Amino acid sequence: MLVNTKELLQTAEKGNYAVAGINATSLIMLRAVMEAAEELSMPVILSHAQLHEPYAPIEIMAPIMRNFAEKSKVPCALHLDHGTTESYIYKALSLGFTSIMADFARYSFEENVERTKKITDICHSLNISTEGEFGEMPSNVRGQGRPLPEGKGLEYFYTKPDMAARFVEETGVDSLVVSFGTVHGVYIEKPILDFERLKSIKECLPHCPLVIHGGSGLSAADTQKCIDGGVRKINYYTYMACEPAKQLPAFIQETEGALYFHEIGEFSRKLMKEKARYAISLFKNNP
């Protein structure tokens, strides 16, 4: 059933778990994610990131994603991930997305508030939930994120608890992406999370569901600590999307005769489904 993210996160708050927000850039990935969620009887957030537009145009993906969500046996939201321009966000709204991430973290605090509030007001008038970001999320992905200023560490981008509370109050967002040690993409080094900062953020925002991006490479123990600290949505993509490439060379070499693309796709779907199952099960927070 198709719902908005706000409903999913409110339920997650009561159950002390996190909902997986998973980007799906193809029909193969959509099947993998939805089958995993339904087999585990867990809600899921199907996400489309603006940066994936060259590979998965939103006009093509949105109707397919919405069809999956509407027919789903579990609650499912249709979420725009990292909407960085107003025009693209409006396009997602016109295509039936039920949840929007307004990503204006690269701007000054004042401009981030102004732009995010504008989107939030529009979304709320349409019963669509909004996710904001305060505290920029670093990235190991080429072309994403700003470089660190000289002499600064990752802490430069971390969320400031008191300002985060002000941001939520002034924008009215339904959930907030916070930065305290996770990064987008593949982790080059073992992540060191600032759980004291997460605790302080939650103390300043006791009623606001928190969101983390870069959930793929976190350990099970750190993931559970994040959830117990108030995180209610965790984005997951990189490690699922990269898994087929690790195993495809051996699969191709061991296959005799002609190898069709649909066979490669099916092999990849099964691998990504297992990764999605792992994440959704882990986020259920039943150690």
Active site residues: 81
The Cα 54–Cα 58 span in angstroms is 9
Structure tokens at 152: 């600064």
Phi, psi of 32 (to 5 degrees): -60, -45
State which H helix or E strand residue 79 sits in. Answer: strand 76-83
Q: DSSP assignment, residue 157?
A: G
What number of CA atoms fall less than 13 Å from residue 132's CA on the CB side? 29
Distance CA 211, CA 140 (A): 19
CB of 198 closer than 8 Å to CB of 167: no
Closest CA to 193 of 203, 183, 185, 184: 183
The answer to whether the beta carbons of residues 112 and 135 sit under 8 Å apart is no
> What number of other Cβ atoms are within 10 A of residue 67's Cβ?
12
